[in-house]
Structure 1
Amino acid sequence: METVDKRQRALLAQPPAPPPAEDAADPVAAVFGNVDLLREILLLLDAPSRLIRAALVSTRWHDAARDPAFLRRFRARCPPALLGFFAAFGQGTLWPLAAPQPKVDVVRFVPLPHPPELDGAARLVGATFNGGAPTDLVVGCRNGRVLVKHGGRHGKKYSVRTPLRSVALGSVIRRPASFPSRDLITQGVPFAQVELIPFPGAGGDPRDADASTLSAFGETIMMPSRFDSTMGKFIQQVVYVRRQTRGWATHVSPPLELPVPVVFHREPCSLLVGGRWLCMTTVLGCIVVFDLATETFSVVSFPDGVTVSCVELDILDHTLARAGDTGIYLVHAKGVELHVWFRRMDGGAAGIWERVETVYLPMLFGDLVAMKIWDYLVSRNAKLVDVDHFYVWDLEYGVEVHDVVGDDAEFVFLTVAKHGPVFLLDVKKRKVEKVLQTCGDGRQLCGISAFMMPWPPVFPALSQRG
């Protein structure tokens, strides 16, 4: 009897037998079969490349990852990576104004620190551009596509390159005539030119209303036409627009009265924003706006109290950035602080500037920049030359804001002191790193263009359903 009791107790102590395999799989199927729950799990991935690999599991996963609403949420949590930037170097002088611009003799792709899965992408971009023709100038990048002007700054041809995709290069686009008809230009009023070129697929941002039809790359050139000093606060804006199916169209504004005198800066920042496709060009203290929908021009003033600066009329302390399709950011270096201003361009609070970020640069840079430079910037106000609402810097010191800022002003490239190294400042994370040391062979930095990973990710097609 005792032996039987022991056997019974032993049987009771044993764990229950596992359920059949199909029953154990039910909870897993319940999780991954629920599309809403599956998307919440996919949101935990920390890189678009991992999202692409997850999409290859099955058609259900593939469809969940490609859903536009899901991609908007994923982008907000994990934005496209800044893979690197193009740096153009040349020889020549930028001063005086009548002197020719520097001759660009090399464009180099500089990769930035990135996760290992992006090593291949960095190699592809470097192999495409490093060692290219000296006369090929990168004038803009967006969504993995690079706009190249052939023949240097004054070249008359463009092409589009897609280094991360095995597709043919974009067709070469003829540039319009250098100057508009004389009967469209008012005698004695300076004018600025900007070229807006079709860039298929370069938008790719679900926040853009019509990103696939026209994208915002071009240049602006200030040209005096027998300049009349009495017309010092007037300008005419010339906009060349090339559509996908139509040729070049020329739009010339009437003389626009500006809140500040015209300063002959060769290449102010220009960008397109929103479904109305507003083209904005800084003119050292204000913004000239061209509405492509209505083909009308207007002028937007800078925030009250913002006084912008320049060095040799070429190096600026401010630039613009897109804020999705709703507005713009003005990034402005004032002394030892970096200010970020936001302005809506649609309804509601349109017309009101709001300062949304203030970055104290000496604390952020630490030992990267000598403290004596910051001390000089603090005390230099007495040495600035006030030229009616803008300042001409001391030629050796100042914070230069390069004309390349991430969407939503997420990052900005800066140079502290003339011919100093280039720094990358992450505005949101408050982190800074030196990314480029200037050349010691007499060549000067002529421009920077950032290369972001494309968005949305390109999902491979699945051969079978599952």
Structure 2
Amino acid sequence: MYPVSPATASPPSPPPTTVASPTDGKAQPQFADAVSMVLDNDDLLLEIMIRLGLPTNIVRAILVCKRWFLVASDPLFLRWFRLFHPPRLLGFYVATRSATSPALLRPRFVPMPPDQLPQELAAAVRMAESYSLDAYDEDMTCIYDLQNDTMLVSGFSGNHTDGKRCAIEVHWPMSPHRGVVALPVIPYDQFDGTSGTAAHFLMKDEGGRNRLAYIWLSMGLLFKGKGEYSLKYKAHIYVLQEDGQWRFRSSAAAVLPPPKSNSRPLLVGTKIYLEHTTSIVALDLKTSSFSTIPLPEGMERYNYEDMILSAAYDSGIFLIHLDVDLKLCIWLHNGNWHLLDVVNLPEMFETLGMTGWTADNEPATLLQTTQMGDFLEFVFLKLGQCALCYDTRRRVLRKVYEVTQEDQTLEHLHPFMMTWPPKFPALKGDCLARNGS
């Protein structure tokens, strides 16, 4: 379905025919030679490893010998494996609002149904379920970002004896031994003459090696004048250094259309994208300049919840639009707009027992998420009191959550995926060479 995706890419070629396991013990040398011909051939070994299906199986395979370790940990192989076997969705954190409190309730983890995950991932799901955010107050706790087992949480924590404190903290649910790390006090910018300010934390994956850069985007907004809807933007960019201090990186200014309320900036490569009413604004971190991208021709917006953005690989963006007829349109921008898919949702509602649901019923909306995968493997929607997940690869719509009486309102959803790339044990010298080389 997408460029450079499993839907359009050619599958790995089948492995060559090998000598079957003999029943006569005298034929064992021939069988051993055949196995050696396969497993000692890196090309054939790659063909076998690409069929392992799960990253957990790769981690087991690299323990066989040092050569297998080097083959499986090669960045080119990992990109190939990621293409055909994307990280599985283990579950998601939901942020809800109750009828008695206008504040967001503390996010909680909801696992994917067991029948939608292989048994090998049951232990990972249990670990995610056991990780708790109970140290934070029930109200006013939010997840800023969630990428690759790194979760950025804002909220009040502590006890009444020591005093409550508001902090931005980093969590690793799948690596609880790393503890919780509080980010240093964020920079505060006083923009002269501004009528409003906005600030956002952003995380950037550096090289796909489980290293994240922390970026603080601080913006001042100045209305041009009465009756005019354009705003003057002033943006300051800070980056958290290894010494634990924020360092000013760059600034930019421009007159732009009004922003979408409660929109989340999207960091892709060296650009930060912001969703606006009639266009998408890109802030280039290299040139410290703003630019605008018009929405696809013919696309009409009807409300502020009918469009969201997602990262596309490491240089483009996906635009997901839900039109008034409940058609889900997926666009890719990599210099120009390309319409990748159009999904007629009412036809899929029948498989979920929601027959007769039309745009005249309670409207469906797109759920704002922290991430949706580099290949946009799934899209989350809110329909009535349910959260639905559309699998873009399999073209399947599933119901994954239904609000309770305590929830009342579902506001945000944060997908929690397997860590990628796999975390391999350290290779020290020839410690694995005893099993081969």
Q: TM-score range by the shorter chain?
A: 0.7 to 0.9
**Which residue does the alignment assign to 1:339?**
329
1:282-293 correspondence to structure 2 within 5 Å: 282-293=275-286
**Which residue does the alignment assign to 1:238?**
235
Going from structure 1 to structure 2, the CA distance change for 1:116 and 1:328 (only over 3 Å counts) comes to same
Task: Give the superposed CA RMSD.
Answer: 3.1
Q: Is the 8 A contact 1:194 1:238 kept in 2?
A: no
* Aligned residue identity for 1:182: F
CA displacement at 1:333 relative to structure 2: 0.3
Q: Which moved more, 1:293-302 or 1:437-446?
A: 437-446
CA displacement at 1:446 relative to structure 2: 2.8
Q: Which consecutive residues of structure 1, in runs of 5 or more, have no partner in the other structure? A: 1-15, 94-100, 345-349, 378-395
* Aligned residue identity for 1:103: A
CA displacement at 1:257 relative to structure 2: 3.1
Residue 182 (1) aligns with residue 182 (2): no
Residue 195 (1) aligns with residue 201 (2): yes
Which is helix-richer, 1 or 2?
Answer: 1
Going from structure 1 to structure 2, the CA distance change for 1:149 and 1:250 (only over 3 Å counts) comes to farther
Residue 406 (1) aligns with residue 373 (2): yes
Going from structure 1 to structure 2, the CA distance change for 1:264 and 1:38 (only over 3 Å counts) comes to closer
1:437-456 correspondence to structure 2 within 5 Å: 437-441=402-406, 443-456=408-421
**Which residue does the alignment assign to 1:109?**
109
1:176-325 correspondence to structure 2 within 5 Å: 176-177=186-187, 180-183=189-192, 185=193, 192-196=198-202, 202-203=205-206, 205=208, 212=211, 214=213, 228-245=225-242, 247-249=246-248, 252-258=251-257, 262=258, 265=261, 267-274=262-269, 277-310=270-303, 316-325=305-314
Q: How many residues align?
A: 393
Q: Is the 8 A contact 2:91 2:110 kept in 1?
A: yes
Task: Provide the secondary structure at the position in 2 that maps to 1:129.
Answer: coil
Residue 121 (1) aligns with residue 110 (2): no
Bigger Rg over Cα: 1
> Matched residues in 2 for 1:193 and 1:18: separation?
72
TM-score, with structure 1 as normaliser: 0.75
Q: Which moved more, 1:362-371 or 1:425-434?
A: 362-371
> Matched residues in 1 for 2:42 and 2:185: separation?
49
**Which residue does the alignment assign to 1:382?**
none
CA displacement at 1:77 relative to structure 2: 1.1
Task: Provide the secondary structure at the position in 2 that maps to 1:407.
Answer: coil
Q: Is the 8 A contact 2:271 2:282 kept in 1?
A: yes
Q: Is the 8 A contact 1:109 1:130 kept in 2?
A: no
Q: Is the 8 A contact 1:424 1:435 kept in 2?
A: yes
* Aligned residue identity for 1:129: S
* Aligned residue identity for 2:273: M
Going from structure 1 to structure 2, the CA distance change for 1:398 and 1:433 (only over 3 Å counts) comes to closer
Residue 326 (1) aligns with residue 347 (2): no
Q: Which moved more, 1:227-236 or 1:442-451?
A: 227-236
* Aligned residue identity for 1:254: A
1:331-370 correspondence to structure 2 within 5 Å: 331-334=320-323, 335-344=325-334, 350=335, 352-368=336-352, 370=354
> Matched residues in 1 for 2:218 and 2:381: separation?
21
1:408-438, Cα deviation, whole Å (9 max, x unpaired): 2220110124xx2100111221111111111
Q: Is the 8 A contact 2:145 2:202 kept in 1?
A: no
Going from structure 1 to structure 2, the CA distance change for 1:62 and 1:374 (only over 3 Å counts) comes to same
CA displacement at 1:181 relative to structure 2: 2.0
1:146-184, Cα deviation, whole Å (9 max, x unpaired): 1111239xx852221112125423531135355x3233x
CA displacement at 1:319 relative to structure 2: 0.5
Going from structure 1 to structure 2, the CA distance change for 1:22 and 1:373 (only over 3 Å counts) comes to closer
Task: Provide the secondary structure at the position in 1 that maps to 2:235.
Answer: strand
> Matched residues in 2 for 1:84 and 1:425: separation?
14
CA displacement at 1:82 relative to structure 2: 0.9
Going from structure 1 to structure 2, the CA distance change for 1:369 and 1:240 (only over 3 Å counts) comes to farther
Q: Which consecutive residues of structure 2, in runs of 5 or more, have no partner in the other structure? A: 1-22, 158-164
Going from structure 1 to structure 2, the CA distance change for 1:442 and 1:39 (only over 3 Å counts) comes to closer
CA displacement at 1:365 relative to structure 2: 2.1
1:178-203, Cα deviation, whole Å (9 max, x unpaired): 5x3233x5x56x55433335x6xx55
> Matched residues in 2 for 1:41 and 1:84: separation?
29
Going from structure 1 to structure 2, the CA distance change for 1:203 and 1:363 (only over 3 Å counts) comes to farther
**Which of residues 143, 150, 169 is equivalent to 2:148?**
143
